[in-house]
Structure formats: C-alpha cells, structure tokens
Amino acid sequence: MSLKYIDCHNHIYAEEFNEDREQVIEEAKKSGVLGMITVSEFVTDTDKILNLADRHPNFCFPSLGVHPVQETNDVQRSATIEDFLQMKPEIVGHAERLVCIGEIGLDFTPRVCHSESDKESQRLVFSEQIKLAGDHDLPINVHSRSAGRPVVKLLKELNATKVLLHAFDGKPSVALEGVQSGYFFSVPPSIARSEQKVKIVKALPIENLLLETDCPALGPEKMVRNNPSNVKISCEFISKLKNIDADLVSQIILENSIKLFPKLNLR
C-alpha cells in the first residue's frame, strides 16, 4: 500500500522556494502528498497563496489569517487590530474558497512580546479571527509559540471547536486539555530532533493527530530548508512511537484531516 499524506500547514509560497517551487511540489506529489494547506502570515501573502491555489487546484488549498508576529521595517512586533482590519476583507471576500483561517494564534516569545499590552493586542487579534472563523463555519490553523496554555484557554473561552494546533510546543497535559475539546495537533518533521514533540505524540491519541511540515521551517535538520515531501518523516515517527503500521497511521491521519477540513477536495 502506498502511503498518502496531507501537509496541513505549510508556506510553500515562501521566497525560499522561488527557484524551484514547481519542482518541489512535483516531488511532494510523487512522495505521496495528496494536498497541502498553505497558511498566510501577512496580508501581503494573500495573492501568492490564491495564485498557488489557482495553479494547483485540489492540491494547494488556501488559508488566510494574521500571524501573531508581524513586521514593520524588518523589525518583528506583535500583531495589532490594524493588521487584522487589513486582512479581514481578504478573508471575507475569499471565504468560500478557504479551507480554514490561519495562521493565527499567540506568540509570547520575549524577543517579540515585550509587555502585557503586546499580549493583549495579540489576544484581541486572535479572538477576532476565531469569531470570524465561526461566522463562516471555517476551521482555524493555530500558532502557539511559548503560549500553549493561553491559547488553549482562549480557544475554550470562545467555544472554538474546529481547531488545529500546529507544532504545539506546550506541555502534554495542556495538549490533553485540547484533546478533551476535540482539537487536533499536527506533527512536523522536526520531531526527529525534538524530545518535546516526541512527548506530545506519545501522550495524544492518534485520532487527534495530523501531519504538517511548516516548510520551509521545522525540518528534520536544523537550518536546512524543509520540503513538503518530508511530511512522511512525521508519519514514520508517529508509527514508531505508537507502534502502529505506517500504512494504518497514514490512513487514520488522512481521515482525521478530512474530518477537520471538509473542504479538502482530493481529486
């Protein structure tokens, strides 16, 4: 049985792929990738993501949202409500073709988040996007760096139900709170070098796991460009840690992906 995968969170539109993007996409298809969800970070990503979806229908599935970390003059900062108001018309205008809203969430790493007001600003932007997803009956694709517990807390407060927590870096006990609310957790190839990711996979039921690459980041080797075809590494690690055949892991996780993202059209 040939294994099949969905890369549920990636940035194939990133400049790191400008020289060989089409080749990388073809390699992903040959390696068993049936589709990939391309998530935005900035409003300027919108056209890149939609153009990819046009060029690769039923393979590159678009997602739009405001990442909690934004940039002004090459300086990273926390997202503000103005960032959301710029992106909102894009999300609303293209809601019918989006498979989810993302990448959204919280990032409380000290180099970006300098104060409580930064945290509040991020919470407001995250909350508005959670509500917008509910208005359009769309799942959300969530970033939670150094903010696992605050993210799960806010998701529960706002009664979010269709949730993917990508590359979750919190404690297994916090992740299990998410499992109790029906949330899914996607596993990147960086599990090959992350004891924390290993602990998460061991702790969570396979029924709540998905696959991702977050390419070009979070590859099996640090500082080496990650490609969508590496999603198979995540599957192999889950198979090993759960002691379940890789073909069954692939099948279960494919079903999980379609359950969370019903607009995935895998023709």
- Label the pairing between strands 69-72 and 75-78: antiparallel
The dihedrals phi and psi of 186, each to the nearest 5 degrees, come to -100, 145
Closest to 142 (Cα-Cα) out of 59, 88, 87, 214: 214
Which amino acid type is present at position 99?
V
Closest to 142 (Cα-Cα) out of 113, 166, 112, 109: 166
Residue indicated by tokens 């549920």: 8
Annotated binding residues for a divalent metal cation, written as ranges, equal 9, 11, 103, 143, 166, 214
263, 95 in Cβ contact below 8 A?
A: no
99, 37 in Cβ contact below 8 A?
A: yes
Annotated binding residues, written as ranges, equal 9, 11, 103, 143, 166, 214
The structure tokens listed for 213 are 């690459």
DSSP structure class, residue 36: E
Residue indicated by tokens 């590496």: 230
